[in-house]
A and B are shown apart, each in its own frame.
Chain A
Amino acid sequence: MNILLDGRPEEALRIHAYMLRGGYQGLKRARQTPPQQVIEEIKSSGLRGRGGAGFPTGLKLSFIPQQEDTPRYIICNLDEGEPGTYKDRTLCEHVPHKLVEGLAICAYAIQATQAFIYCRAEYPYLVDVLKQAINQAKQENLLENLDIELRMGAGAYVCGEESALIESIEGHRGNPRFKPPYPAGQGLWQQPTVVLNVETLCNVPFILREGADAFSSVGTPDYPGTKLITLNGDVEHRGCFEVTTGTPIKEIIETVGGGVRQGRALKAIQVGGSSGGFLKASQIDTPLDFAALQKAGGSLGSGAILVLDETRDMVDLCFNIADFYRKESCGKCLPCREGCYRGWQIIRKIQQHQANQQDVENLFLLLDVMKETALCGLGQSFYLPIQSCITLFEEEFQAKLRTEVGGGERIS
C-alpha cells in the first residue's frame, strides 16, 4: 500500500497531476472544520513521528496553546543526518506537494501563519524543487495566509534534534536546549513551536482526505500506516521503499531487497541508522514496528536498515560508529562530549588489540552513564549501537582482547 510514494518522480512538480490524485483535498477538508477537530483527527489516526522518536503527532500538535494572539511557528525537519537515511530526500524529490500540503494542514491546525523548512546543507538540489512547489501552491491560492520559508542548515548532525534545530534557525550554534521548557511552550524565538519530520507531514494529507480510520487500519495498531525504509549494505537491491508497518524484516530483505548480496549468509542488521541497535540474523523475523523492535533490543529509528553479510567485521563497524559520534557530539554537555571521546578511545584500543576485559567493563559503565545523563538524544543513543554490537558479537570483541592481567584501570 502506498500512502506516501504514490506519484511518479517526473510528475513531482506538476501540481495539477497531484491534485487529480486527490492532492490538496485534505487541506480543503481541514479548512472546513475547526482547527481543534483537525488535531483530533490526527490524534485518532494514531500517527506517530517518523523522525525516530515516535512521539504521537496529534498529541504534539495539541500542546500548542490555543489562544490566538501569540505568534506560533511550525517547522519541517528536513535535516536527516542519520547515516543510511535518505527517505526525506526521496519524498521531496517524488512528492514535494505532499509535504507542502501536510505543512499547510498542520499550520492550520495550530493556527500558525509562519512555517519553516529546515533543509540540510547536503541537499542543495532540493531547494529549487521545494521553492517551486511552494510557489505553485501559492499561485493556486492554496496556502492562504501561510508563509513557508526555507532555511539551510550547514552540516551538523545534532541539528536534527528539535531544540538544536530551533537554535540553528535563530542563528546560533546548533546546541540543544535544556528541556523543559519544551518547544510547544517556548520554541522558536520563545514562541510556541512544533517541529515535525518530513515523512510525518507527508502522512497528514492522507489522514485528512481519507479519514483517521482509513489510516489506522493500515499496519500495526501501535504504529499505524506505512514506513519508508532505506535499505543499505549487503542486499541485491538497495533503495528507499514504502512498507506497511508490521511486515517482518526478513520479508523486506528477501522480497524488496532481493536477498543478501552474492548469496552470502546474513550476519546482522542494524535498524535505525547509526543510532539504532543491532539485531542478529536469528532475530530478523521481528516485524517492522516500533514496540516490537524495541523489545528485540533494537529500535525503529529513522527506518534505515543496514544489512551485513557474514564477511563483515563488527569491531571495525563499531569503531566507525563511535568515530561518528565523537565527531558529531556538539560539546555542550559533558557526558556526551567526553563520553563519546572516551568510548571511541576504548573501542580503538580493542581494535588495536590493546584492551583487556576491564576496559570493556569500563565502556559499559560509561555507556550507562551517558544513557542516563546526556542532554539530548545524540549522547543518549550512543548506548544502543555500541552496547548491542558488543553484546551480540561478544566473541569477535573477546578475540581482540588481551588476556594478561593489569593494564586497564577500574574507573568506578
Chain B
Amino acid sequence: MPFDHFLTRRILKSTYVCEVKILAGEAGTDYKPLIEPYRQMRGGIIEALHALMRAYHFIPPKALKDLAKAFRMTEAEVYGVASFYSYFTTKEQGAYVIRVCRSAPCHLENAQGVMELLEKELGIHAGQTTEDGKFTLEWTECVGQCAHAPVYTINREPVTEPKNVFSEQIPLLLEQLRQN
C-alpha cells in the first residue's frame, strides 16, 4: 500500500512539531517571564509547566525554584507536580519526542514492532535521547487514535496506519526532521 504523502506534509507543517525552537536552559537563565502570565491564575502551575515544556522541552532545575517562588509552594511540591505527569519531565529531551502507543489496541497491531523499527532507525532504546539531541523515543499509553492502530506521535502529532508506520519513507521523514 502506498505511503500517505500528506503525512510528511502534515508532520512538517504541524505547529506542535515544527515550531520547536528549543532554548538552552542554563544555570543563569531567568524563567520568571515565562511563568509570569500564569502566576495569578488559580492552579496556573500546570499551565506554567506546559509553557516551560514548550520552550525548553524539559523543566530545568532552576525553573523548579522559580516556580516554587511564583506559586508560593515548596520546591518539593513543585517537583511532585512536575514529576507526576508523563508529559512533564525534569530530564532533557530531544527536539522531537516520539511516543509509541503501547495500549491494548495498538499492542495487538504490533506496537512492539513499531518500537523496534524506530529503535533501529534512531539507534537508541525506548526512554533514550539521540546524541545530537534531536530525538527522544519513549512508550506512551493510549493517544485516542485506535481506529488507525498502530500509532506513534511526533511531538503529539499522530502518525497512524500500518502502511505509514511501517513505511520505507519513515527514515526519510526522520532525516528531514533531523535537518530541520
- Chain A residues at the B interface, C-beta cutoff of 8 Å: 80-86, 89, 120-125, 151-157, 168-174, 189, 230-234, 238-240, 270, 274, 304, 306, 308, 312, 317, 320-321, 323-324, 327-328, 330
Contacts and interface: CB of A to CB of B under 8 A. Distances in A.
17 contacts: A84-B103, A89-B144, A122-B144, A122-B153, A124-B156, A151-B43, A151-B46, A152-B47, A152-B50, A154-B88, A155-B88, A171-B81, A173-B81, A232-B146, A233-B105, A320-B107, A327-B141
Contact of A86 (B46, B49, B145): B145
A304 B85 CA distance: 24
Interface string B51-92: 000000000000000000001000000001100111110000
A153 to B, nearest CB: 7
Contacts of A312: 108
Given A85-B144, A171-B45, A306 B156 contact: no
B104 A306 contact: yes
A156 B85 contact: yes
Interface in B81-136: 81, 84-88, 102-105, 107-108
Given A155-B87, A156-B84, A270-B104, 12 more contacts: A82-B142, A83-B105, A86-B147, A125-B16, A154-B85, A232-B105, A234-B108, A308-B108, A312-B108, A324-B104, A324-B141, A327-B141
A306 B87 contact: no
Contacts, number: 119
Given A83-B146, A84-B142, A171-B71, A153 B85 contact: yes
A153 B88 CA distance: 10
B5 interface: no
A317 B86 contact: no
A174 B49 CA distance: 14
Nearest to A149: B41
A170 B43 CA distance: 4
B142 A233 contact: no
Nearest to B111: A320
B64 to A, nearest CB: 14
Given A169-B43, A170-B42, A174-B85, A84 B104 contact: yes
A226 B30 CA distance: 53
Given A155-B87, A238-B147, A83 B43 contact: no
Nearest to B143: A122
A232 B141 contact: no
**Which of A85, A154, A234 has the largest number of chain B CB atoms within 10 A?**
A154
B98 to A, nearest CB: 14
Contacts of A170: 42-43
A93 to B, nearest CB: 11
A152 B103 contact: no
